[in-house]
Amino acid sequence: MNEIKVNANIVQGSINFDYLTTKKKLNVILIEYREINIDNEDSIKFAKGTLAELREAKLMFDKRRKEIKAEWNKPYIEFEKQAKDIIELFDTPINRISLQVKNIEEKKQLLKYKEMLVFYNETITDEVREYARFESIFNEKWYNTTYTMVKIKKEITEKLNNIAIEIKSLKTMGSMAEKKALESYMKDNDFTKAIKVITDYEEVKRQEEAVKKEEEINKVKKEAVDSYKQIENIKAEAVAEIFEIKEQKSDAEIKSKLYSITATAEEMEQIELYMNSIGVEFECMTIEF
């Protein structure tokens, strides 16, 4: 390939342009225009004419610049066209050789892939298989020639062991969201995402239980208040009834009788409670046997 050389040389050219003299003359001409003041209708008319002259002169100079650039670039444009035609000649052999190299590399990769897949199937356990498809643990770097099968097998074993540990961790958390967490883990073996499924569920559950507990407490409080009100109403009714009985007795003949009652303490309490409820006035003297 060394016999092929690019025999193209640049012959130094030049553009004859009196830059400094032209710039000096133009500055002298333009100096009076730089100091023009426009302050009335007559000066506006003059200014418009001056603008037209200056713009025309500028366009004329810029047009000449573009013409010179086009002339200057003509040799390069011709050379570029010829050079591209030469460069295209390389494409046919390059593409043919490249395709053959690619085919050989793909065959090597396929053989390597099959060897990796065999080891995967020999190593993986039934418990882990459904959560760790080979495609999900596969690493494109394993195709590199620097990755030996010894190193690849070591990484496959480590990945499978780690997945087994993470699955066990998810199952031992004892959450009702375990199934959803395992389904999430099955998709991409993202342990952090699977854990979040459980923590989010437990947080919602905790909040729901807190709300339920608060509702139960409020219910008990309400029942207690209702019971208190009911007792107070009963008391009020009993007091009213006692007063009513006393009023009725005030018009009736009052008699006193002496009774000797033998009863247990509980029975005695019930008797006194009854006498109080009907407005009977009594005196009590306890005799112990």
Q: pLDDT tens digits, residue range 45-78?
A: 778 888 888 899 899 999 999 999 999 999 899 9
Can you spell out the DSSP letters for 93-132?
HHHHHHHHHHHHHHHHHHHHHHHHHHHHHHH--HHHHTT-
Extents of the domains making up the chain: 28-88, 105-195
- Rounded Cα–Cα distance for residues 89 and 35 (Å): 63
DSSP class of residue 252? S
**Residue whose structure tokens are 């008319």:** 45
Q: Among residues 264, 247, 258, 249, which one has the least CA distance to residue 282?
A: 258
- Rounded Cα–Cα distance for residues 39 and 46 (Å): 11
Instruction: Give Cα separations from 155 to 111, 112, 158, 161, 224 (angstroms).
Output: 18, 15, 5, 10, 66
Query: 141: which residues sit within 8 A by CB, 6+ positions away?
Result: 147
Lowest mean pLDDT among 15-24, 118-127, 223-232: 223-232
Lowest mean pLDDT among 108-117, 135-144, 241-250: 241-250
Count of CB atoms situated within 10 Å of the CB of 27: 10
Count of CB atoms situated within 10 Å of the CB of 175: 18
Lowest mean pLDDT among 174-188, 198-212, 261-275: 261-275
User: Is residue 185 within 8 Å of residue 194, measured between CB atoms?
Assistant: yes
Instruction: Give Cα separations from 27 to 32, 107, 265 (angstroms).
Output: 9, 74, 132
Q: pLDDT grade, residue 248 (50/70/90)? A: low
User: Is residue 22 within 8 Å of residue 60, measured between CB atoms?
Assistant: no
Q: Which tokens go with 199?
A: 């923590």
Whole-number CA gyration radius for the chain: 54
Whole-number average pLDDT of the chain: 84
Lowest mean pLDDT among 24-38, 49-63, 210-224: 24-38
Helix axes 265-277, 191-250, angle to 10 degrees: 70
Highest mean pLDDT among 34-38, 145-149, 223-227, 277-281: 145-149
Inform me whether the pLDDT recorded for 120 exceeds 80: yes
- Rounded Cα–Cα distance for residues 121 and 129 (Å): 9
The Cβ-side half-sphere exposure at 41, using a 13 Å CA radius, reads: 0
Q: Among residues 172, 171, 157, which one has the least CA distance to residue 125?
A: 157
Q: Which residue has the higher pLDDT, 30 or 4?
A: 30
Supply the pLDDT for residue 247.
Answer: 63
**Residue whose structure tokens are 């006393």:** 246
Distance linking the first and last C-alpha atoms of the chain: 138
- Length of the chain as a residue count: 289
